Structure formats: structure tokens, C-alpha cells
Structure 1
Amino acid sequence: MTTYAIAGASGQLGHLALDALLEKVPAANVVALVRDPAKLADYAARGVDVRAADYDAPETLAPALAGVDRLLLISGNALGQRPRQHQAVIDAAKEAGVGYIAYTSILHADRSPIKLGEEHRATEAALAASGLAYDLLRNGWYNENYVMAVAARAEAGVITGAQGDGKINSASRKDLAEGAAAVLVTGKGGDIYELAGDHGWTLSEFAAELSRQTGKPVTYVNMGEEDYARSLAENGFPEYVAKVIANSAYSTSLGALEDDSGTLGRLIGRPTTPIAETIAAALR
């Protein structure tokens, strides 16, 4: 009996990946690793083995991975801490005898101009040095990243950013979660999956679609990276976070989030979710 584990199973992506995995394998074969097992009490009631594991408490990791054959390592959200955290999970996986890891990296990590890519490259290097079998799930950005406060932005009539005319091949979290579950079950190791939406769009096209759906005029105003970071900080974002967001936005103008390979759609066996559909859901 193969045992599958998801690290970070109570997060937004992890929760959806857990649902997708449970459509493929019995609950008795699934381990969910979370900091607070109470968050997944409903899954425990369905037969999932919910175990306490904390990326920042290495002593919890190897015991939590005992008996696991295949692990989905979902990248942590603590910016600047992820290489250390992920190394701890990889080390624990080796100690526990885990045979395979699928890791959620960043789209085109090997050449991404996005500064966050450095943390993912470090984890990819750690996996390469581990001796374990592994596959890389290089995820593009989520549709959901772009629809926060979308109704208020429609009311304001302006969307700001530093993306220029860069194409964004985004996909929904559910799309990427289904892709992760598929690779966790079938991956052989040694593969890189560049996972992005079927159709790319620009922020100007996003503004036009938002305008179409709301009946309000909405325009996209492009800014430089530093100006955009400053505007985000002025609107309450911590300075470091503002710089990270602005860098990701500017890197989009350099092609960082463009990928028309169609790999994700083929992997999940259906078209990826169009940004227009996610906009509509957010407006509802």
C-alpha cells in the first residue's frame, strides 16, 4: 500500500490538493501534515491520518513522515525562511525513508527574474543534492492573486501595477492543486513541470474584462517598480512585502509569468480556469 503525504495540507493550495488527492486514492492511504491538526478534524473523521508537523520545528518532521512513501512538499509562505524550512523537510524525508518528493516551485525557476525565485532555486538545488527521487512543479501565479478587492477597484476605475504589457498565464488554485495531486500519484522522478494557464492576458486586458463585467470604465495604469512599491507601502503594505510584490510585477513585464506550453491543462485533463471566470466569481 502506497502512502501519500501532503506537507502544508491546511493551507489554501494544500487544502485543495488534499481534496484532489482523495479523489484518486483512499483516505486510509493519505497523510496530512499540518501545524494544527484541529484544522483538519473533518478530514481525520473521513479516515485521513492528520499529523502535527511544523517547518520551523525540525524535530516534528521525521516522526510525522514515518511510513510515508511519496510526499508533496508545498513551499512555505515565510519569505526569506523557505530554503531553511524546506531543507529541514528534505532532511527529515531522507531520515524517514520517504522515496519521492514533488515540490511546488516557481514558473521557470531556473531563469525567473523574480527575486523570490532565488528561494525556490535553493530548494531545487537541495532536492538535487538529496539523492531522493523528485519532480518539480513550477507553478505560475494564481488567478486569485489578481481579484482581491476587485469590486473596489472597479468602483475606483483604476488598476495600478508595474507589469507593463507582460503576459500572465495564470491558473486557479484548484487547477494547480489538481496538477500537484496528479504528479504526486503518478510522478516517476526526474521531471520538471512548468505549470501555467492555457491563455495569457495582460493587466490592460484584465481591466477591460473587469469593465465589461461591471459596466464601469476601468483602466490599467503602469508604474515603475520603485514607484509601485512606494504606492503599495503608502497603502499599508509592509515595506519588504511591497518591494516583493513590485518586483514580481515588474518581472512580469520581462516575461516571467508567460508560458503557453499547455502542460497544466494536459496534466489535469481539462482546460485551465480562465481569468474571466475567476473575476466573475469574485464579483459574486
Structure 2
Amino acid sequence: MSATGETKAITPPDVAARKGGAPLVCLTAYTTPIAKIVDRHCDVVLVGDSVGMVLHGLPSTLGVTLDMMIMHGQAVRRGLERALMVVDMPFGSYEEGPAQAFRNAARLMAETGCAAVKLEGGEGMAPTIEFLTARGVPVMAHIGLTPQAVNTFGGYRVQGRGEGAERIRRDAAAVSAAGAFSVVLEKVPEELARQITSEIAIPTIGIGASPACDGQILVADDMLGVFTAFKPKFVKRYADLGDAAEAAIAAYADEVRERRFPAAEHVFGDAPKTGERA
């Protein structure tokens, strides 16, 4: 709370200052109702391009558009008061060069009210990160397994094993030096993630990485058991809401077919009862 009693929103500098401190709690969300719940418990809410797979049934994140990210970003923004909101830049919206990245990042920020954007890539994206941050766009970086490059990797494979470890370390150092305020480490070996966390000046946020990272992130629909098309090793299910939803829908269907729903308390009489809406 601020001195005036208002809820103080978390900022990118607040996140950067958490390096080596209390772990950052982060979740991915796409809708207003989930954002409202997440906001009470998390430091960072990411509107991820995983929305294409989780909510739209796409086979990967590659078909996600800027307009889709803006729509879901606006929905999440309506549910937040405290958590830092970061929006993914979708595939094709920033890779062409720094100028393209700035145009699209500026649009994301203006139309969603987000405080930062996230983009994938290490050394190759460092000039773009530097360009954006110099122009007032806070950037969360993302290295290791970068889902937008899944075709290059030949699938959702662990990155940074063997000789690949040095490449990931260079990526981490590059995005930190370029001005990113934090970096997501996805699906990298635990020891490598631990080393990187100790080597760079910005917070690391792990997903399939290490408990030594400065924070952790999961997709809300994954950890709630709503999205069940597949379950990566790094996902812990804290609930099985998908099973609960199916049981509820099955019960509803049975009651409708048996004419047990709606019951008397769910229908309207000729005159409204006391306290009942007309």
C-alpha cells in the first residue's frame, strides 16, 4: 500500500531490485477472472503467446498475432491492481529489426497498458533489447528453449546440455548487458541455470530450470489442471480443475436430460418474490 492507502503497482525496477532477494512469483494468465485471482498472490503476470495453444487450440505459438496479444492483454489488465503485467511479443513482430520491434512494442504498451514486453532470443536479440530499453520500453528476455524457434530446435527439447551450455551463458550475459530487467530461463539443465543466476546482474525466472533462480513461472492453466493436452515435466499440478469441470458439466447434462434442471428455484413465477429480480 502507498501512503495514500492505494495499492502500489510493481514496476520493472522493483523486479530488477529483487535480484538475490525473496523469490519472484510469476504466472501466465490470459483472462480477467484469472488475472484477478493471480494478482492477489503474484509479483508478475505474463500474458504469454502460449495463449494460442492453451485457449485457441493452435499447435504452437507461431500462429499467434499481435491483435490476439492485445485482446488478451486488455482482458488481463482489467483484472490487475498490483502485479507487474508483461506481454509477449508474438512471432514475426520483432525479429525483422529494432525499428519494427519498437513500433509493435509501443503499440502493445499503448493498447494494453502493460508495463513491459517479453521477447525471445539471446545474443542475436541484444541490439533490439538495447534499442527498446533506450526508448522507454522495459524488456523481459527469454532464453534457453524459446518456443517461437521450436522448428529450429526440432521440438521442445532441453537446451544447454554439453557444448550448448556456453551458448546459453553467452545469451544470458548478452541480454543482461543490453538492459533487460529480467530473463526467463526455459528448459535448461538445473546446474546451468544455477550458474547463470549467480553470474548475471538481473533476476532469472525459471520454468523447467532451477530452484536457485530468482523467481519461477508457470502457465496458470497448466498448474490448475485446466489445460491437459500435454504436461511438461516441469509443471506441477496444484489442482485438477479440468476433471472437476468435466464432472460438473456431466452432472448438468444429466439433470437437463432428466428434466431435473431447472428446478422450481431457478424459474420465475407470475409475480416476483420478495428480494427476487423481476
Instruction: Identify the structure with the greater helix proportion.
Output: 1
Structure 2 length as normaliser, TM-score? 0.34
* Higher relative contact order, chain-length normalized (CA < 8 Å, sep 6+): 1
Structure 1 length as normaliser, TM-score? 0.33
Name which one, 1 or 2, has greater alpha-carbon Rg.
2
